[in-house]
Structures are given as C-alpha cells and as structure tokens.
Amino acid sequence: MEQKKNYTLPIVMMFFLFAMISFVTGLANPMGVILKNQFDVPNWMSQLGNAANFIAYAFMGLPAGLMLQRIGYKKTALAAVAVGFVGVGIQFLAGLAGGSGFAVYLAGAFVSGFSMCMLNTVVNPMLNTLGGGGKTGNQLIQFGGTLNSLSATIVPVLVGYLMGDAARATIGDAAPAMFIAMGIFAVVFVVLLAMRIPEPYAIESEKRAERNEHSALSFRHFLLGTLAIFLYVGVEVGIPNFMNLYATSDLGIGATEAGALVGTYWFLMLVGRFVGGMIGARFSSRAMISCVAATGIALILCAIFLPAGLTVHMPVFRADISFGLFEVPAGIMFFVLCGLCTSVMWGGIFNMAVEGLGKYTSAASGIFMVMVCGGGILPLIQGVIADWAGYPASYWVVLAGLAYILFYALVGSKNVNKDIPVE
C-alpha cells in the first residue's frame, strides 16, 4: 500500500505533461486559419503546420521508445520539455521573419512535434503501468486526457480572441499564447528535475543485451491497434481543424466565434474524458470504444447530409470562460458533438493495443507514437478533398476512420497471441 502512495506525485506530473501535449499541439488549429489568410494558401497548405507537428512522430517515435528503454522516464521527459521550449520559440520567431515566416513556422512546428512525441511516449505507458494496466490503467489515461482536453479547449478560444479579424491576423498575433507555452515548459522542467519518478520498466544492463525471439509487432492486436491510432489521431484533429476552416471560409463565422466552436469541441472532449475516467473501472475499453465509434459515425453522417441553411442555437464555450448561445448550422453542431466520441478513444485504443504485452510495452509505446503521424497525414488528404469537393465531403475521410476504429474495438483488439512469453 505504501508503494502505491508514493506513486501519487508521478501520476500528477504525468497528468500535467498530458496537458502540455495538448496545449502545444492545439496551437496548430487556429494557426491554420492564420496561415491560410496571411499567406493566401489553399486548404491543404493551411494544414502543413499541423502536418509538420504530427509527421515528426514518424521520425521520433522509435527513437523515443529507445530513449525510454535506455535512459528511463525522467530523462526522456526532461529532454522532451527542453525540445518543446525550443520548438515553440522557433514558432514565435516566425512572426518576426516577414515573408519567410511560413517556412520558419513549419520548422518550429516540426521541432515541437519531436517534443510532443517524446512526451506521449512517456506519459501513456507510465500511467497505464502505474494503474496496473487493464481497467485501472485505462482509467488513469482517461483522467490524464481530461487535462489534455482542458488545454485543447483553452488554446483555440485564446488564439481566436487574440486574432480578432481572421482576414487580417498574422502569426505575431498568436505570440502571447506562445509565451505562455514557453513559460510553462520552463516551470515544468525545473519541477521535473527535482522530482523522483519510478522506472517500472527499467532494464538492467545484462537484460538489455538479451535478444528476444518476439517483439511487440508479433502481436496481431497491437499491429491492428497501431493502424487504429493512426486513423484516430487524424479523426480527432481533422474534425475541429476543418470545422474551423468551414466556419470562417464558407459560413461567414468570425474567427472569435469559430475559435469558440472549436474550443467547445475540445471542452466536450474534456467532459467525455472525465466521465470516461469515472466509469473506466466499470466498463472495458472495448465496450467504450465500440459505443463512441458507432455514435461518431451517426453524428458525422448527420453533419454531412444536413443542409447548411438549417440552423440551431447551441451553448458555446467563449473567450471569457463562460457559455453563450450561438446560432450555427446544425451540421456544425454535430461536428462539435463528436468531441464526446473522440474523447475516450486515445486511452481506450492504447489500453487495448498494449494489453498483455508485458516487457514489450516500452518498445510498443515508441512504435505507437510513430503512428500518431496520422494526425498530419489524414488532414492533408481531407484538405485535398475539401479543395476539390467542399468541406462537408471531406468528412468522408473521418467517417472511414471511425468505421475502422469500430471494427478494431469489436474484432481486431482481441489478443490471439497469448502463447508468446512476455515476462
């Protein structure tokens, strides 16, 4: 019992790092609107900052997993925080770079992606392990995801408020949000440096040289889970990103109001993750993901087929941290409601994919992070379709991703390789 009490502080720090991941990643959403208007680029190019952030996972996922195995959780997290500070700093410099600001911003987003990948590699297996895997491990990841969603709720609302008129906003207008991010990184680095973090999968030197006949890739449910996470991250990012572009470009909604709508999407993710954390010990990940994937499919179909002229009044999270009624197209409301569905998917998919992997969990986390690049690739595909057939049609990409996630929860997540030794 005493050992579990000693894990409280590390769990709290992992929760805080979860929030930082979302704060920095969330900057790409409103920045896409700024890039589109400041540099007069098509939809797919407005997603390049988001793509740079997520494609960095493809380069850093495996190295981050190796770092976790060789230097442990604490040193990997410290390195990630330092890299994150540099990445956001480069994005700030983009506002001072004039005509070359687009390229400088993309470089900063790419460096920030390295940091987010490293942090994700640490916090997910750490929380899952400290919770003992299974339902409790999923519960801790869902609670961590609640703080993740809180940051994601604040970022688009804050930057949308700072932008004011989207048609005239520049990268420099988002500088205050970047200063906040760099300040938080600095504080986290100092606190983390002074903290002791348990290393539940620390590998002794003689065992490090041990050659295993199998790997995480030997497990079918893990392989299928990597594809599920690739599609999920693309779905989670694509829904609010293109809702923001759709609202400001086609529907004539101002940047502040559009940012509030996106913030409401992330707020609903916060609510969903909090509820998921509360019920996570009673319902399996398989049951939770099956339910939300099926509901998400229904919501996206409604949003695609409802006419843009049909409007509803819905409560929206505003910049003054309050709620107000906005009149919006009904389809936008259904996109926003998808936040309740995507909320529990990350933790549930991760939990199902690494269940039963034992000593392969750390390496699996690195491989998992590679597949987060889906958050950059799927929105690019969605952007191409949006340029060709319009914003509503682009959501068929999201629908296909949700359909696969439903398949994974019902069928693909079953461990059929229990004969492989994992101790």
Concatenated DSSP letters of 162-219: HH-STTT--GGGGHHHHHHHHHHHHHHHHHHHH-----TT---HHHHTPPPS--GGG-
User: Quick one: pLDDT at residue 82?
Assistant: 94
Does the pLDDT at position 386 exceed 70?
Answer: yes
**Residues 237 and 22: beta-carbon distance below 8 Å:** no
CA contacts within 13 A on the Cβ side of 406: 15
Percentage of residues in the chain having pLDDT higher than 70: 86
Residue 117, token pair as written in the block: 């990948």
User: Quick one: pLDDT at residue 206?
Assistant: 39
Helices 345-354 and 285-305, interaxial angle, to 10°?
A: 140
Average pLDDT (264-270) is: 86
Lowest mean pLDDT among 101-105, 161-165, 214-218: 161-165
Higher confidence at residue 331 or residue 317?
Answer: 331
Positive/negative CA dihedral, 208, 230, 376, 266: negative
Average pLDDT (386-406) is: 95
Does the pLDDT at position 183 exceed 60?
Answer: yes
User: Quick one: pLDDT at residue 277?
Assistant: 74
How many other CB atoms sit within 10 Å of the CB of residue 391? 24
User: Quick one: pLDDT at residue 203?
Assistant: 47
Does the pLDDT at position 278 exceed 70?
Answer: yes
Under the banding of pLDDT at 50, 70 and 90, the label for residue 45 is confident
User: Quick one: pLDDT at residue 267?
Assistant: 85
Euclidean distance between CA atoms 230 and 367, whole angstroms: 11
- 2-197+216-412 in CATH: which number? 1.20.1250.20
What is the reported pTM?
0.75
User: Quick one: pLDDT at residue 1?
Assistant: 38
pLDDT in tens, 341-373: 998 898 889 889 988 887 787 778 778 878 888
Under the banding of pLDDT at 50, 70 and 90, the label for residue 4 is very low
Average pLDDT (145-161) is: 71
Higher confidence at residue 374 or residue 100?
Answer: 374
**Residues 353 and 368: beta-carbon distance below 8 Å:** yes
**Residues 5 and 103: beta-carbon distance below 8 Å:** no
Percentage of residues in the chain having pLDDT higher than 90: 26
User: Quick one: pLDDT at residue 365?
Assistant: 74
Higher confidence at residue 109 or residue 155?
Answer: 109
Mean pLDDT of the chain: 82
Higher confidence at residue 235 or residue 205?
Answer: 235
Q: Which residues have a Cβ under 8 Å from the Cβ of 84 and sit 6 or more positions away?
A: 20, 24, 112, 115, 116, 119, 181, 185
Q: Cα 178 to chain center, whole Å? A: 18
**Residues 265 and 239: beta-carbon distance below 8 Å:** yes
Lowest mean pLDDT among 243-257, 310-324, 390-404: 310-324
Q: Which residues have a Cβ under 8 Å from the Cβ of 241 and sit 6 or more positions away?
A: 28, 29, 32, 47, 50, 379
